């Protein structure tokens, strides 16, 4: 028997003003697009903004459906749109924000398992780590790669074995 430990490195900030200008702009875009989310069922409005290597920022928000599983998370809306519009441009970073009861959450909201898997595929596709910025009003958490949030993962290497 062997027991191993996995260490995740998370960088924490108390204010968005401590982030670089580029990351602040990304957070601003994530907040802006959260306001356009379609979430009549959960009333949980998520906004994501994706930074691309060509300088473009792509926004996405959660889109719900009366047939619940037909909806999609903000992160995947943003990533899929970015990949659809700029299929050859690597993704550098994603900022995520969430809003409920008329205000942004104080604590950062991490992406769900399916969104982590999609972000992992995108990292592999463009061979570039994606910085993930989880933005709460009272705390910002940053990981330098989605692998920090999904350290034991399934990817295409396993299909080839």
Residues of this chain that bind ligand THU (CB under 6 A): 39, 42, 44, 46, 62, 64, 71, 73-75, 111-112, 115
Residue 115 or 150: the one with the smaller Cβ distance to ligand THU is 115
Encoded tokens for 116: 């982590």
Residue 46 or 57: the one with the smaller Cβ distance to ligand THU is 46
Query: Is 75 annotated as catalytic?
Result: yes
* Candidate list 12, 18, 32, 75, residue with the active-site label: 75
Say how far residue 109 (Cα) sits from the centre of its chain.
9
Residues 40-44: contacts with CB under 8 Å, at least 24 apart: 40/64, 41/66, 41/68, 41/71, 43/100, 43/101, 44/98, 44/99, 44/100
Nearest residue to 22 via CA among 74, 103, 92: 92
Give the shortest CB-156-to-ligand THU separation in angstroms: 23
Give the shortest CB-148-to-ligand THU separation in angstroms: 16
Catalytic residues: 75
């Amino acid at each position: 028997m062997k027991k191993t430990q996995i260490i995740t490195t998370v960088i924490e900030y108390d204010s968005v003003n401590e982030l670089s200008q580029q990351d602040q702009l990304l957070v601003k875009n994530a907040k802006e697009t959260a306001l356009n989310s379609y979430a009549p069922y959960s009333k949980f409005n998520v906004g994501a903004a994706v930074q691309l290597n060509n300088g473009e920022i792509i926004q996405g928000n959660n889109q719900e459906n009366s047939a619940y599983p037909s909806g999609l998370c903000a992160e995947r809306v943003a990533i899929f749109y970015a990949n659809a519009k700029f299929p050859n441009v690597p993704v550098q970073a994603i900022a995520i924000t969430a809003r409920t009861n008329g205000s942004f959450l104080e604590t950062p909201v991490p992406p769900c398992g399916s969104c982590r898997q999609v972000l992992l595929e995108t990292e592999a596709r463009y061979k570039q780590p994606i910085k993930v910025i989880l933005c709460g009003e009272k705390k910002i958490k940053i990981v330098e790669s989605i692998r920090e949030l999904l350290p034991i993962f399934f990817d295409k290497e396993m299909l080839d074995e």
